[in-house]
Amino acid sequence: MQQKNISAFLKFLIIAFIVFVVCLLVCRNHFIFGTTLILGRWGFLFVGLLLFFLTTKRIVSKQLQYILLGSVVFIGLEFIFAKLNEASPQQTSTDTELTLLTYNLFFKNKNPDVILNQIKRTDPDILIVQELTPAWVSMLSKSLGKQYPYKRIYIDKGTHGIGVYSKYKLSNDTLLLNDNKKPFAQIITAHIHNKKIQLINVHTASPAAAVEHPENFLSLFSANYTLRESNSNKLKLL
């Protein structure tokens, strides 16, 4: 009787694991499922192999064994597929070397000197920033002086400030707005000698509110996902 109970429980675990893995693989492009797959991939492989090992010790049908093994193999294949499809930057020849630095300044930052010193040491040709507040604008102006004669900035007291500082001329500044009429992306053209380069400064909504309020985590995280998905869809139209 005890043997049957163990076998039944093991079958339940295997079926639950297979269904869970199939859901992750089928919905891998979904933010939540995709993140779960990426973060837990090796853990799922270990659990799958452990369950497969247990099936060799318990009475489980060969068919279920093969399905379990197949789900484990597909997790590995998904990882290989993802690596093979990662975009590799194309090598292009140019007469001008351009350096670019993007920095989330963090609107609540209590130690701005670390970032300011980092920007000075890096000395990029183009500086792209997010969470640009009035205080940060003042500090950047005092610290960088006339280092960046061209700038296009949108100032906000919270997280939605965004901007570009450049040693080269800038034009065609366009903001993409979220449902609350706040910018989440900035599209701008930089004139590098006789060439034009389009830059897109993106700062999508952070799920920080969900982390800060764990009692409402699911509802806040879901709302954040919906907002980020809306932002992503607008970017895809570019």
**Residue 58 in domain:** yes
Q: What is the 3-state secondary structure (H, E, C) of 181-218?
A: CCEEEEEEEEEECCEEEEEEEECCCCCHHHHHCHHHHH
Nearest to 26 by CA among 85, 62, 75: 75
Task: Count up the domains in the chain and report the number.
Answer: 2
pTM score above 0.75: no
pLDDT tens, N- to C-terminus, the chain (238 residues): 555 666 788 888 889 999 999 998 888 877 778 888 888 889 999 998 988 888 876 667 888 888 988 999 999 888 888 888 765 555 555 567 889 999 999 888 888 999 999 999 999 999 999 999 999 999 999 988 788 999 999 998 888 899 999 999 999 988 888 877 888 899 999 999 888 999 999 988 777 777 788 888 888 888 878 877 777 777 777 6
**Residue 212 in domain:** no
Strand partners, 186: 175, 201
Q: What gap in Å lies between CA 86 and CA 213, rounded to an integer?
A: 35
One domain, residues 107 and 75: no
**Residue 90 in domain:** no
- Domain final residue, candidates 34, 54, 84: 84
One domain, residues 58 and 123: no
CB proximity list for 136: less than 8 A, separation 6 or greater: 105, 107, 109, 112, 129, 161
Q: What gap in Å lies between CA 96 and CA 114, rounded to an integer?
A: 29
One domain, residues 187 and 136: yes
What is the per-residue pLDDT for 28? 83
One domain, residues 167 and 116: yes
**Residue 49 in domain:** yes
CB atoms within 10 A of CB 24: 23
- Domain final residue, candidates 84, 112, 131: 84
Both tokens of 192, joined, read 């590098």
Side chain identity at residue 89, one-letter code: P
**Residue 126 in domain:** yes
One domain, residues 39 and 109: no
- Write out the residue range of the structural domain in which residue 196 sits: 100-203
One domain, residues 196 and 105: yes
